[in-house]
Chains A and B, each alone.
Chain A
């Protein structure tokens, strides 16, 4: 199935917005996107007056794998060890939606043409929503990079934005995926080892607090995200249930010869409208709640990764200290040990400083995002509840008014 997303901020459901603070020196957006058989092509448009770009406005076409390449490049770069690397956008996944459309196409002869048309409409809307979301996720990733004073100056970022050709970054093969998986295990094991290392004390209360906080927060937000997804899914099921109900009521109404005729037909209409409302409730919850929770789940993971890197640096510093002591006792290679220790110290301290700033930014980002989305969610829920009430009341009046 093909899909196309035209430019225009008003059509983007962004529960996570990036505050560009009116910075016009580098503006990035995804101005267009096309969904083909098994991949999505994003048109990344850049507007910039920075000197290293050849033009002030230019576009390139990028696929998901290239975004991942960029993300990994940042993660592997020592220079950025003290920063929260914006989480990579999730892979566009239309599998479930496609399967459902296919199943619908294969046909269930017991459903009427109207029912079929409605279900198809629903599925197409779902497909479109997934498409919009994936565009938004990819865009937010780039925009956060563009807004970050350090990350925006990365050479790979410029290449990503400007280089007209394909970056020839194939998707990870199995060996690389496995490698990545193992690396995560090694990382957790390492972390466990470091923390149990004797003599490794957290000197800074701030980080001690952050560590405890992030561990708990991350696991709880993950739970909340999963459960929010389930609620949204239930709302969708409910909305879908109204389709056959409305159709059956319609048939009943058409067949009746008595006063129930109008009652059934009105009820059929009511359920059709309720279906649309219920569908909107589901999609609002999805955007304002689920997506937001999901994003901050990933962002908090990125924050945890930062803390890990700092911890690693602290361990290295501790080890360097020990090595220096040993060298002094033996009076061998003291110079080397000294300079190594100094390096580790500097690294650790600069990491700590930048991490502190990053974590405070993370907090303010999170708080403002939640604030905005929670109130918007509540407003929308209220709006839908009032619309439902009005709809139901009108139907009741019409039904009661009948002889």
Chain B
């Protein structure tokens, strides 16, 4: 924190670039003078304790829950909701590399804090592997997707990223990968837990609570991508049936179109944000390189004051490089990942709509079959075959029940989807608003830091200027 008594003055307008010869730096006095210093002292610390992977298979040592920066983990606020008063928060924290005989795998610690009575404790932790998460998702999907519930998709499998980590490659890209995965798993769990119906599911409870979990087998087909493929296949099958569904409810058609548009736009935005992340990382690298060369130039410079000024500039640029890196993190974890999460969520929504179509088709088919059975009955009556008539009557009863069931199922799934979409949209609005605000706050912080660096630079520079003027060389 600079303690210079003399405030640096700022020009209120554009500095003229056209002067002949040297020009002194002080110009118009700025009303913001006080503000300048307020900003300079308001230094937000972006340092946090480093996360360290523990390379042992010992059971849970007490580890401080930590995130790389306070900006990254979008955790649910533990606000009690209006009614009923429940709070349940599951939180991913430390991960560790576990060596289990032949296979090395990454274990993630899942910590839950809850006040719900269905859980035996109010706070508990378990260790889970990535495949466990996929297993959970597949169970939930198989139970709830086809009746119209929007089951949040699990994160994608990534062969390349995971291999590097398993091989024990301790570089920044593998750390980054694990952090990306950890955050994704956390968001996945938190979304799942927020769903009131899914929360009641025993498989979910078991996942959160029990210390031992039976290993999920055949998770190949059960990853998020796997489910997506299943959903898409179902959608294709549905389309191939060329269902001309009499959409009695315009709401569904409207919503489907809406989600289709949303999907397209989110994908576009996501692609652009990925480019932003990439370029910000480049900017950071280039700034660091420039800082080094500015320092070298400062060393060469034989005019003392100028040499100092250049070294100062190099220092400022180095700090700014750090900022760029952190901003790139925020760009990614807040903005980019939110978008990719929603792209996959919307795929799940589309899947649910498709299931409704299938349901309708089933009902329709039952009605057609019933009609056929009735025709058979009529034929039998004309042909006067009493035993066949009885059989026909039985089948009619059977198919009447099926038609009724079909209608009930269809109405149920339609009702569920309406509710689900309503809930989903509410969540989406909240999610986006929260993240947008967080993201903007991160941008504000960055800019404030930049300001404070240059203010310090000014103050030092002003002192240098005195030196400069007193001694010409």
Contact = CB atoms under 8 A, between A and B. Distances in A.
Interface in B1-42: 10-11, 15-23, 25, 32
Interface stretch (A120-128, A176-184, A225-233): A225-233
Contacts of A14: 17-18
Contacts of A258: 425, 429
A230 B289 contact: yes
Most buried by B among A10, A15, A245, A375: A375
Nearest to A236: B279
| Best-surrounded residue of B21, B258, B310 (most CB of chain A within 10 A) | B21
B297 interface: yes
Contacts of A20: 20
Contacts of A129: none
Interface in A199-250: 209, 213, 216-217, 220-221, 223-224, 226-228, 230-231, 233-235, 237-238, 241-242, 244-245, 248-249
Among A20, A209, A263, the most chain B Cβ lie within 10 Å of the Cβ of A263
B279 A9 contact: no
A156 interface: no
Contact of B429 (A260, A372, A380, A388): A260
A106 interface: no
Contacts of A216: 300
B461 A392 contact: no
A221 B290 contact: no
Given A241-B279, A248-B269, A385-B447, A363 B303 contact: yes
A339 interface: no
Contact of B468 (A13, A17, A371): A371
A14 B20 CA distance: 10
B273 interface: yes
A88 interface: no
Given A217-B301, A244-B272, A255-B261, A223 B296 contact: yes
B280 interface: yes
A378 B454 contact: yes
B268 interface: yes
B320 to A, nearest CB: 9
A17 B23 CA distance: 11
A395 interface: yes
A235 B306 CA distance: 26
A274 to B, nearest CB: 8
Interface string A255-272: 101111001000100100
Contact of A392 (B292, B433, B447): B447
B282 interface: yes
A184 B231 CA distance: 69
B441 interface: yes
A287 interface: yes
Nearest to B270: A248
A18 B20 contact: yes
A399 B433 contact: yes
A389 B451 contact: yes
B86 interface: no
A213 to B, nearest CB: 6
Interface size class of B (residues with CB under 8 A): 35 or more
Contacts of B273: 245
Interface in B231-269: 258, 261-262, 265-266, 268-269
A99 interface: no
A370 interface: yes
B283 A231 contact: yes
A368 interface: yes
A16 B293 CA distance: 21
B275 interface: yes
Q: Which of A228, A249, A378, A402 has the most CB of B within 10 A?
A: A378
Contact of B286 (A230, A245, A376, A400): A230
A381 B293 contact: no
Interface residues of A, number: 73
B275 A241 contact: yes
A19 interface: yes
Contacts of B455: 382
Contacts of B105: none
A367 interface: yes
B436 interface: yes
A307 B464 CA distance: 31
B262 A255 contact: yes
Given A244-B272, A367-B303, A376 B265 contact: no
A361 interface: no
B15 A376 contact: yes
Contact of A382 (B282, B283, B454): B454
Nearest to B302: A213
Nearest to B282: A234
A172 B439 CA distance: 56
A368 B297 CA distance: 16
Contact of A245 (B272, B287, B297, B306): B272
Nearest to B274: A241
A26 interface: no
A378 B272 contact: no
A375 B286 contact: no
Nearest to B458: A378
Nearest to B303: A367
A251 interface: yes
Nearest to A368: B22
A385 B450 contact: yes
Nearest to B290: A227
A276 interface: no
B201 to A, nearest CB: 29
B437 interface: yes
Interface in B443-463: 443-444, 447-448, 450-451, 454-455, 457-458, 461
Given A241-B275, A378-B457, A231 B290 contact: yes
Contact of B297 (A221, A255, A257): A221
A393 B444 contact: yes
A227 B286 contact: yes
A364 B468 CA distance: 12
- The 3 A-B pairs at the shortest CB distance, nearest first, are namely A234-B283, A248-B269, A19-B21
Given A213-B302, A367-B473, A399-B436, 12 more contacts: A17-B18, A19-B20, A217-B297, A220-B299, A223-B297, A224-B293, A234-B286, A245-B272, A259-B429, A376-B17, A386-B447, A400-B437
8 contacts: A227-B289, A237-B283, A251-B265, A251-B268, A270-B440, A363-B473, A367-B303, A388-B447
Interface of A: 9-10, 12-15, 17-20, 209, 213, 216-217, 220-221, 223-224, 226-228, 230-231, 233-235, 237-238, 241-242, 244-245, 248-249, 251-252, 255, 257-260, 263, 267, 270, 287, 363-364, 366-368, 370-372, 374-376, 378-383, 385-386, 388-389, 392-393, 395-396, 399-400, 402
Interface of B: 10-11, 15-23, 25, 32, 258, 261-262, 265-266, 268-269, 271-273, 275-276, 279-280, 282-283, 286-287, 289-290, 292-294, 296-297, 299-303, 306, 309-310, 313, 425, 428-429, 432-433, 436-437, 440-441, 443-444, 447-448, 450-451, 454-455, 457-458, 461, 465, 468, 472-473
